[in-house]
Amino acid sequence: MPELPDIAAYITALEARVLAQRIEGVRLASVFLLRTVDPPLSSVEGRIVRSLRRIGKRIAIGVDGDYWLVLHLMIAGRLHWRPAQAKLAGRQNLAAFDFPSGSLVLTEAGSKRRASLHVIRGEEALQAIDPGGIEVFSTDLEGFRKALTLENRTLKRAFTDPRLISGIGNAYSDEILHAAQLSPIALTHKLKPVEWEQLFAATRSTLTLWIDRLRAEAEKGFPEKVTAFRPEMAVHGRFNLPCPRCGEKVQRIRYADNETNYCAQCQTGGKVLADRSLSRLLGSDWPRTLDELESLKRR
C-alpha cells in the first residue's frame, strides 16, 4: 500500500501536471470504484484544480467550488500519467481523469477491487474521511507519545493504525523500528523515556529520508513504479539478507497477507521472534536466538 513518502511523491508529480488545469472529463471503467453518489462525479468536470492534499494515505484533488476527488489506492492501486484520452483497456484500468496535457489513470492489480474514489464538497466533509492519526511533522515528542499510548499495543500494531498515526503502514514501520533499534513487539506502555526519544527521532528522520528521495525521483518523471519493496531499504522485504547495520540476516514474522521484517541483533537483543505458523509447527523446537536458528538450519 502506498504510504506517506509514496503519496508525497505522487503529489509532487501531480502538482507539475494538473495544478491550475481543467478536468475535461472523468471516465470510469469500474462502477465499484466510486463510493459516493452526491455530489455526482460529473460535478467536477470542467472545473480547475486548485489544490492537492494528502489525507492519511489518501490523495485529495481540490477543484473550483470546494469539490474534492479523494483517491484511496489501498494495497494494489497505482496512478499513471498517460497521453491525453488514453484508452482504458484491460481489467486493471479503473478510471481516467482527463486533462488538456494528459490523462491520470488509476489501475489496480489483482482481482479484488479495494481502491476507492469519493467525490465530496466542503472542508467539513473532507475532514470527516480523515482517520484522525497525528501528523508526525506537526506534533512534538509528547504528542507523539500520547497518541501511541492511547492503548497498550505493540509498536508494529500502533504504527500501522491510521487512527493513531497518519500515513505509515507495513513498510515504513519496519524501517522506522529498525532505525530506532526497537522490537516490533515492544509494548507502547513499557517504553522508557529514552526509547520514546529514539523512536520519535527515527520516525521523522526515516520519513524525511524517503520523502526527499522519492520526491526527487518524481521531479524527474511520474512515479510509475511505486512499490513497498525497495533495494535501499534496511529490513523491509529483505528477509534472509544482511542487516546494513550489523550484517546479521534479517528475520520476519508472517501473519495473514503481511509480514514484519526486523533484525534480531539490532532490535530484539538477539532473540528470534516467534512466527505464528512456524512456531506452531516446531513447538518447543522453535529457535530462541540467532545461534539456535543457524543450528536448526544446519540440521
CATH code of 166's domain: 1.10.8.50
Indicate if 35 and 151 belong to the same structural domain.
no
Residue pair 184/201 in contact by the 8 Å Cβ criterion:
no
* Claim to verify: residue 267 and residue 144 sit in the same structural domain: yes
Q: Are residues 103 and 169 in the same domain?
A: no
Q: At residue 80, what are phi and psi to the nearest 5 degrees? A: -140, 145
Half-sphere exposure of 239 (CA within 13 A, CB side): 12
Whether 145 and 228 share a structural domain: yes
Task: Please tell me the predicted confidence (pLDDT) of residue 276.
Answer: 56
Q: How wide is the angle at C-alpha 118 spanned by C-alphas 17 and 129, nearest 5°?
A: 105
Give the integer Cα–Cα distance in Å for 107 and 91: 9
Residue count (the chain) = 299
CATH number where 29 lies: 3.20.190.10
Please, what is the Cα angle at 120 between 119 and 121, to 5 degrees? 140
Chosen domain end from 109, 128, 147: 128
Residues 95 and 22 in one domain: yes
- The pLDDT of residue 288: 53
Q: Are residues 152 and 95 in the same domain?
A: no
Q: How many CA atoms lie within 13 A of 139 on its CB side?
A: 19
> Do 30 and 98 reside in the same domain of the chain?
yes
Say if residues 160 and 174 touch (Cβ distance below 8 Å): no
* Whether residues 263 and 284 fall in one domain: yes
Q: What is the per-residue pLDDT for 113? A: 87
Query: Looking at the structure, do residues 208 and 141 belong to the same domain, yes or no?
Result: yes
Among 128, 150, 173, the domain boundary falls at: 128
What are the cell numbers at 96? 481516467
**How far, in Å, CA of 21 to CA of 103, rounded?**
12
Same domain, 112 and 233: no
Q: Do residues 3 and 169 lie in contact, with contact meaning Cβ atoms separated by under 8 Å?
A: yes
In this structure, is the dihedral angle defined by the CA atoms of residues 49, 50, 56 and 57, taken in order, positive or negative? positive
Shared domain check, 283 and 150: yes
Residue 1, pLDDT score = 84
Q: Are residues 161 and 82 in the same domain?
A: no
For residue 249, the 8-state DSSP code is B
Mean pLDDT by 10 residues, the chain (299 residues): 96 98 96 95 98 97 98 96 93 96 96 93 95 97 97 94 96 98 96 98 98 97 94 96 97 83 96 66 45 44
Q: How many domains does the chain have?
A: 2
Q: Among residues 144, 143, 158, which one has the least CA distance to residue 188? A: 158
pTM (two decimals) = 0.91
Domain end, chosen from 79, 111, 128, is at: 128
Which residue segment(s) compose the domain that 289 sits in? Answer: 136-298
Sign of the alpha-carbon torsion through 19, 23, 28, 29: negative
